[in-house]
Structure formats: C-alpha cells, structure tokens
C-alpha cells in the first residue's frame, strides 16, 4: 500500500534560476543535485528545512520525458502562471509575507483572511503560483466577502 507522498514535481524554466529562488528566497534546502546518464538529465530536489521527508523536484520540461511540442506547451503554461503548484503552510502568514517580500519574492495577493486561515499568493521565478497559508480554526457560520449572499 502507499504510505505517503515523498516527491512532487514543479516544472521550472531554468533549474539554475529555480535553485537560487527556492534556496535563497524561500529558504529551502537542496536535497539532491545530480546529473545522470549520457543526456545529462539533472535530478534537482529541494524542500523546507522542517520537512525532510518531502522533496520538490525542480524539473525543466524537455527530453527525455517530453517531445519538443510538449516541452514548448509546458514552458508556455509555466511562464503564464497557468499551473498552480500548491500551498505552503506557515505559522505566521503576515510575517512570512514581509520576509519573503524583502527577499524579492513577487506576491500576487497580500495576506488576507479566508474561511480556512490567512492566505497570500506568490509566484516563483518561473511563473508558478503558490498559496502561503496560515491555518486558523474554520468557522462555517462566518460570512466572508467571497460567500454569495443568502
């Protein structure tokens, strides 16, 4: 049976640039950075320091896994920000927003209250967008601006 998720892939436009972004701006650790095989396939993984059992694969679209047409399509989608890549949890969204902003991270949305917590949205240097979320106790009876009127 499956026990847990260990790796997840984020397509990036440049592994070198992505490595710098994820390590220097987000504060992640490099877990693996190895070139394998004749074609020079690069296996680059990073992850949050406090979560050693999860690795984010920073992968450029292309051979050997993609044909040229698929590579172009994926690169276009990544650059447009069409691929939402996930949610990162933080214990203090507003403070983390300030720290990451000072490091040059581009935010699409400042921290705002949501039914599930406080959330800000940012992009990596390739265009992928992420939620930065501080979970709070969910109140199903609370009215929210995005909730349709009853």
d(CA 144, CA 136) in angstroms, rounded, equals 14
Tokens encoding 111:
């921290």
* CA 113 to centroid of chain Cα atoms: 20
Sign of torsion over alpha carbons 77, 81, 87, 88: positive
pLDDT average, residue stretch 138-146? 58
β-bridge pairing 7-11 and 55-59? parallel
Helix and strand totals (H; E) in the chain: 3, 8
For residue 49, CA distances in Å to 14, 21, 69, 85 come to 22, 15, 36, 19
The residue among 65 and 21 whose pLDDT is bigger is 21
pLDDT(21) > 60? yes
What is residue 62's predicted lDDT score, i.e. its pLDDT? 83
Joined together, the tokens standing for residue 149 give: 């009127």
Query: Which pLDDT score is estimated for 144?
Result: 53
Sheet holding 129-135, edge to edge: 84-89, 129-135, 117-123, 106-114
DSSP classification of residue 148: P
* Spatial separation of the C-alpha atoms in residues 65 and 118, rounded to whole Å: 38
Mean pLDDT (the chain) is 90
């Amino acid at each position: 049976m499956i026990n847990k998720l260990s790796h997840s892939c984020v397509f990036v436009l440049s592994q070198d640039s992505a490595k710098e972004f994820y390590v220097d701006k987000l504060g992640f650790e490099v877990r693996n950075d190895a070139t394998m095989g004749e074609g020079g396939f690069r296996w680059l993984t990073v992850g949050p320091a406090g979560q050693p059992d999860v690795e984010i694969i920073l992968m450029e679209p292309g051979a050997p896994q993609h044909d040229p047409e698929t590579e172009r399509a994926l690169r276009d989608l990544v650059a447009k920000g069409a691929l939402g890549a996930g949610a990162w949890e933080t214990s203090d969204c507003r403070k983390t927003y300030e720290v990451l902003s000072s490091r040059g991270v581009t935010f699409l949305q400042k921290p705002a209250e949501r039914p599930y917590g406080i959330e800000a949205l940012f992009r990596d240097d390739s265009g992928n967008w992420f939620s930065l979320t501080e979970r709070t106790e969910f109140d199903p009876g609370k009215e929210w601006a995005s909730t349709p009127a009853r």
